Structure 1
Amino acid sequence: MPDDDLDRRFNELAAQISVEERRRASRAAHAEWAALPRNRRRRRWRITALVAVVAVAATGGLVTYRPELLEGAVTAFSERLAGTADRDDPSAGPLPGETAGPVPEETTPVSVDPVKVSPFEGSPAMDYPDGADGLVMPPAKAMGGLSEEDVAAALKRAKDLLKASNLDRRVLFKAGHKPFSRLLDPEEREWFLKNLDRRKPRKGDFNTRYWLTSFAPGTAEPVTDVIKVNGRTKLSPLKDGRRTGVRIKVNYLFVYAVQRPGRPYTAMRVVAHNAGEMAAYRENGRLVIWVRNWNGDGTAGARCDVDDGFVHPSYEDSPEDREVAKATGAPIDPYDLEESEQEGCRLTTGT
């Protein structure tokens, strides 16, 4: 980077923020966000949601959170400090660039490592496990007429389905489905594929894209490789008519840091709530693992007025959402694992 560009960048960023201000901002951010209303929508099979402007508190008020801005500010400081650490000390002498002779070999410039800011800092997600580490299954045990091995297989399938529907990059950012659909029972897979991305599903069916967290093509790219995960899985006996086996209920939050492609200043968080249920039982000697409901409790930070099964992030500069004015009820916390029973576009606190 040319020196004049570095000087300009340093001066602009140094005037806005310091490391200590950033630390104070992080501590105050969560309290500030709680006062900001956001919006979220619930459909029969999945909630979609609106607006998740990520902000940090700074001197003089709130500023939109821009990871590259904060990291750039500290990086700029690091680069400058290497040559100016002793600038105010008269005994330090002139800077190396101002001397007539070479820098002595034993002289080592002061080096300050950049302080990287997590896009999850200031939110509950900061303390969540990363990725699949947050998908903790209960111990397998014989139940409902199934052996311990059968139950273990069902729990593994549940974890694999969660990873495929909410963590796989092909599903998240490339509108894929195979990582998920190949895990379904063959009969259920056929139904799933027939209704995938269908604008007018058959009566009694729905667009099965809602079972996947897929960002609409061209609307988002990840800010970081990290996805934060928090939740639980419950295992219980199943008795459904003549069938007996186990019921597996999943309840997980997946927190993504995304931005418009190529536009880091739009960085925001999106929180997807996967509340779902599976059944496992023996039928004609075969272990059947059947998904009854999936990804069923909404996504905070996505538009309410698009009904195509994809997540459309609502960035700060997005057009007005037509459903927002219809949103009713008290704001809800997108980090709350309790399932919502209300339908429609919902207000949320900040993500």
Structure 2
Amino acid sequence: MPEKPSDDPSSASGLPDDVWEQFTRDTERDIRSSAPKEPSARARMVTERLREQDARGEQPPGWRTGPAMGVPPARAKSRAWGKEMNGRAARRRKLWAVLGVTVAAAVVLVALKPSLLPGDPFGTGGSGAAEASPLPAETAAPTAAPGASDPETPTLDRPFAGSPALRWADGEAGIVLPEAKAVGAVPADRVEEALKLTKKLLVGANLDPKTVRGARPAAALSVLDPKQPELFDELDTGLRSPSREHDPVTLFSRFDPDEVRPVGDVIKARGRMTFKKGSQGGVAVRADYTFVYPVVRADGPPEVTRTIVRRVLDVELADPARYKVTPGRLLLVKYDQEIGNSSCDVYDGYLHPGFPSSRSADPDPSGPATDPYDRSKDIDHGDGGHCGTVTRT
């Protein structure tokens, strides 16, 4: 039994008597429980029998040889099961670790931009899901301008960010033809031909990459009837020697390749066509479409801006049996345009977009502010003598 420390005041313990007695009892109990015990008689007999069998090279009943030689079947199975479970547990831990990182990254991403979630689970009223879904084709005049978009800055990867055109169709897909029906004595197939020719004119004048990059709009001109000499003279003059009186951008969307270049291959388009009986024995078609062009400077920083062009064309596919016209060609009866974000006092045959970084150097506009995306109103040129401004691009 441990002896109680000296009562000498110099002793370092200084323990009270009751504490020391409890310590003594606990120590004796631990010593007794950990001391080696004498095996029982039965245990000594089993041990001796196993030693004799081992000396003779015998295996106890129920044991087997093989990879787990000398190990009872139940114990061998238990070890294999333990290894398998350990492997499964390790795989589960690795899987949950990977899933944990993925879930954490997703949580952070959604926290930064909740609009990535489908619908509006947080009731924020955000428009993320709406922006991702394309608009149905326009079949009638809108009743109001498009709603406000997120104030995002367009980039090379997302040139239509922050624009209502983000949900518009791409290029020719935005020019959806109405169902062709007979108009008076004009059969449906004749109406369909007129609609297709009108689409070809719109594509050649506003979507053809060559036209957009400033080349002669040959594809568009090939649709027009050459038996309109005054029209062709006017267009040719504008393309050769553009001026205020003869400016080709009134019909063709053209950019100066030395000044700007398109961003990507997508031009957004939205509008509609209608048709009725024509005045020259054929079918008259009205096309009202808006095109959105993202561009950057040809030799400057990658700053993206957009020019918006709305065009309204009245054309007719006349009856060649009654009038001196060219079969399969359109008569251009009237055309009008409204251009947003382009210098209005330059008449060199090209559109000249303004960039946010340089607008402070431009002269102050004197005309009214307009929304170039508003298709609910007719084109209004105001007094025609002043440059206005656009409320968004």
How many angstroms apart in 2 are the aligned matches of 1:124 and 1:139?
Answer: 27
Q: 1:286-331 CA distances to partner (integer Å, 9 max, x unpaired)?
A: 545211233x222211112212331011112447444x4322x3x2
Alignment pair present for 1:336 and 2:360: no
Q: 1 or 2 for the larger relative contact order (CA 8 Å, sep ≥6)?
A: 1
| Residue 257 (structure 2) pairs with residue 217 (structure 1) | yes
Aligned-pair distance for 1:258? 0.8
- The yes-or-no answer on 1:231 pairing with 2:271 is yes
Q: CA separation of 1:20/1:348 partners in 2, compared to 1, >3 Å: closer, same or farther?
A: farther
**Counterpart selection for 1:147 from 165, 169, 187:** 187
Which residue among 266, 271, 280 is the counterpart of 2:317?
Answer: 280
Per the normalisation by structure 2, the TM-score is 0.55
Letter in 1 for 2:372: P
Partner of 2:296: 259
Distance change >3 Å, CA 347–CA 29, structure 1 → 2: farther
Contact 1:221 1:260 in 2 (8 A): yes
Question: Offset of 1:194 from its aligned partner?
Answer: 4.1
Could you say what secondary structure the match of 2:281 adopts? strand
Contact 1:273/1:298 (CA < 8 Å) preserved in 2? yes
Deviation readout 1:113-134 (Å, 9 max, x if unpaired): xxxx522122211110111001
Alignment match, 2:20: none
Quote how far apart the aligned CAs of 1:195 are.
4.1
* Distance in structure 2 (CA, Å) of the matches to 1:283 and 1:144: 17
State, as a whole percentage, how many aligned pairs show the same letter.
27
Find the residue that maps to 1:157 and give its secondary structure. Answer: helix
Deviation, structure 1 residue 214: 0.1
In the alignment, which residue of structure 2 is the partner of 1:36? none
Q: Describe the shift of the 1:66–1:271 C-alpha distance in structure 2 as closer, same or farther (beyond 3 A).
A: closer
Q: Determine if the alignment matches structure 1 residue 249 to structure 2 residue 286.
A: yes
1:308 matches 2:354: no
Which amino acid in the other structure matches residue 345 of structure 1?
C
Rounded to whole Å, the distance in 1 between the matches of 2:212 and 2:185 is 37
Give the residue type in structure 2 aligned to 1:150: R
Distance 1:246 1:303, change over 3 A: same
Q: Structure 1 residue 245: deviation in Å?
A: 2.2
Deviation, 1:259, is 0.4
Q: Deviations over 1:222-247 (max 9, x none)?
A: 212111111111111223xxx23222
Q: What is the distance in 1 between the residues matched to 2:307 and 2:243?
A: 27
Does 2:345 correspond to 1:291? no
Find the aligned partners of 2:126 and 2:342 in 1 and give their Cα distance: 21
CA drift at 1:23 = 4.2
Q: Distance in 2 between the 1:210 and 1:22 partners? A: 44
Match of 1:347 in 2: 389
Q: Tell me the matched-pair count.
A: 246
Aligned to 1:96: none
Q: Which has the higher strand share?
A: 1
- Compare the two structures and name the one with the higher helix fraction: 2
Distance (whole Å) between structure 2 residues aligned to residue 22 and residue 181 of structure 1: 50
Larger radius of gyration: 2
Report the Cα distance in structure 2 between the residues aligned to 1:315 and 1:208, rounded to whole angstroms: 23
Note the C-alpha offset of 1:19.
6.2
In structure 2, C-alpha distance between the alignment counterparts of 1:346 and 1:25, rounded to whole Å: 35
Contact preservation (8 Å) 1:132, 1:163: yes
8 Å contact from structure 2 (residues 154, 161) kept in 1: no
What letter is aligned with 1:198?
S
Q: 2:155 aligns with which of 58, 61, 67?
A: 67
- In structure 2, relative to structure 1, the CA distance for the partners of 1:29 and 1:291 (3 Å cut) is farther
5+ residue gaps, structure 1, are 1-17, 31-53, 58-64, 69-116
Gaps of 5+ in 2: 1-107, 117-123, 128-148
**1:241-284 superposed Cα distances (whole Å, 9 cap, x missing partner):** xx232221111111111100244532112111111111121134
CA 28–275 in structure 1, closer or farther in 2 if over 3 Å, else same? farther
For the Cα contact (< 8 Å) 1:235–1:248, is it kept in 2?
yes
Give the distance between the partners of 2:214 and 2:237, measured in 1 at CA.
Answer: 19
Superposition deviation, residue 21 in structure 1:
8.9
Deviation at 1:212, TM superposition (A): 0.3
Q: Are the aligned partners of 2:239 and 2:349 in contact in 1 as well (CA < 8 Å)?
A: no
Distance 1:21 1:261, change over 3 A: farther
Q: Tell me the residue number matched to 2:308.
A: 271
Matched residue, 2:139: none
Structure 2 contact 216–239 (Cα < 8 Å) conserved: no
